[in-house]
A = this chain, B = another copy of it.
Amino acid sequence: MLGTQNKKPAEQVARYADMFSAMGTEPRLRIMQALLSAHPDGLVVGEIQEALDIPNSTLSHHLEKLKNEDLVRVRRESTFLRYTANTEVLQELLRFLYAECCSRNKAVEPKAIIQVCR
């Protein structure tokens, strides 16, 4: 428990909104997909660029945004920067959405989401 969930619900909602916003763009959502596919190793910027085929500065801006929302982590590997998906935060976000849709209300059936419940 360090930095997780020690905020007012009001601020929390704003934070989740920011996360959705960060994933609310095709290039960035694709970046997240790529990082998750390569999890837990993650990918070096060059590899992401190759996968998405966008100019490096544009990619860098997108990565910055994802980093700002804490959706990805970075570490340097000599000349390279290796990005990984921040699964803790993704888990938090998924949990929020699941709670809003399935727990708090009966709006969506849990089994419609999880096929493999065993």
Report whether B98 and A113 are in contact in the complex, using a CB–CB cutoff of 8 Å.
Answer: yes
Q: Report Cα–Cα, A115/B99, bound state, in Å.
A: 10
Copies per complex? 2
Does B13 contact A17, Cβ atoms closer than 8 Å? no
Q: Is B39's CB under 8 angstroms from A14's CB?
A: no
What's the dominant secondary structure at chain A's contact region? helix
Asked whether any CB of chain B lies closer than 8 Å to the CB of A105, the reply is yes
Say whether B105 contacts A91, CB under 8 Å: no
Q: Which of these, B14, B28, B91, B109, contacts A101 with CB under 8 Å?
A: B91
Q: Is the CB of A101 within 8 A of B97?
A: no
Residue numbers of A with Cβ under 8 A of B are 13-14, 16-26, 28-30, 32-33, 36-37, 39-40, 85, 87, 90-91, 93-95, 97-98, 100-110, 112-117
